[in-house]
Amino acid sequence: MKTPPCVLTIAGSDSGGGAGIQADIKAMTVLGGFGMSVITALTAQNGLGVTGIHAPEPEFVALQLSTVLEGFPVAAAKTGMLFSAPIIEAVADCLAAKNFPLVVDPVSVSQSGHALLKPDAVEALKRRILPIADLLTPNRPEAEMLAGMKIDTEEDVAEAIRRILDMGPKAVLLKGGHFEGGSTLVDWLGEPGKAPRALPQSRVDTVNNHGTGCTLSAAIATWLAHGCVMEEAVVRAQQYLHLCLEKSYTPGKGAGPVNHAAPYMG
C-alpha cells in the first residue's frame, strides 16, 4: 500500500465539527492524505454561531508546529484561523524555512458573522504569512479587506488579485461564492504576470455551507501533497467540494456542514 502523504492544518477547532481543524482532517483523510493539526484556537460553536473563543499561548502554538515538523515529512500544509498577531508571528517563524507548499485561507469572519481574526492581526497576516504562501484563498470580503477596494466587476477581480499578489503570495484563488451569478459560480486563479483564469462551476442550492472555505483549502493542500500542479489541485478540490455540497445535510440546529464523506455515498 502506498503511504498517504502527510498534510498539515494550522487552524482553529470547531466544536460543531463542520469547519476548522475537524473539516480539514476529514477532507484530508477522504482524499488520501494523513492529516495532522496545529490548533491555534478553541471555539465553542454550532450551526447557529460562535459563542466563545479561547486561544493557547503563542509559544504553545509554536511548540505544536515545531514538534510536528520535526516528527513528520510534511508534504503540504494549510493555515486557517490564526486569530491574533502573536500567533501569526509564532507560526511564521516556524514556517520560515519550510520546503513544502503552503495554502493560506485568510479566515477573518465565520459564516455566522463572528470575528475570527483580531483587528491587529490583519497587518501581521499581510507582513508575515502572505509572503510565504504558495496559494492564498480569499473569499470576496477577505479579498476586499486585503486589497483595500470593493470588488464588483471582472476588472475589479483582476485589480484585487494584482494588489494581493504584490504582497507576496505565489498565487491567489479569489473565490466566487459571495458574488451573485445565477446558476454559475466562478473562482478566479491569479499568478504573477498572467491574466486571472476563470474556473467556473455550477452553483449548489443548499444552506448547508458551513466549512466550505476550510474544506476547499484543505483539499487543495492534499492534492498538492499528492504532487498535483497548482491549477490541477484547485480544480480537483473544487470538484470535491461541489460533491460535498450536493450531498450535504443538516445534522443539528442551524446551517449544516458540507458532507466530507460524499465520495463514498451513493
Average pLDDT score over residue span 158-173: 98
What is the spatial distance between Cα 7 and Cα 221, in angstroms, rounded to a whole number?
7
For the chain, state the CA radius of gyration: 17
**How is residue 100 written as a grid cell?**
513544502
Average pLDDT score over residue span 143-155: 94
pTM of the full predicted structure?
0.96
What is the spatial distance between Cα 255 and Cα 208, in angstroms, rounded to a whole number?
5
Per-residue pLDDT band at 111 (split at 50, 70, 90): low
Q: pLDDT by residue (tens digit) across 8-28?
A: 999 999 999 999 999 999 999
Residue pair 92/125 in contact (Cβ under 8 Å)? The answer is no
Per-residue pLDDT band at 210 (split at 50, 70, 90): very high
For residue 110, is pLDDT > 70?
A: no
For residue 180, is pLDDT > 90?
A: no
What is the spatial distance between Cα 74 and Cα 69, in angstroms, rounded to a whole number?
7
- In the numeric block, the cell 470535491 is attached to 240
pLDDT (0 to 100) of residue 112: 64
Compute CA 157 distance to the chain's CA centroid, rounded to the nearest angstrom.
Answer: 19
pLDDT (0 to 100) of residue 119: 80
Residue pair 224/76 in contact (Cβ under 8 Å)? The answer is yes
Distances (CA, A) of 7 to 15, 68, 85, 129: 21, 11, 24, 18
Per-residue pLDDT band at 178 (split at 50, 70, 90): low
Per-residue pLDDT band at 187 (split at 50, 70, 90): very high
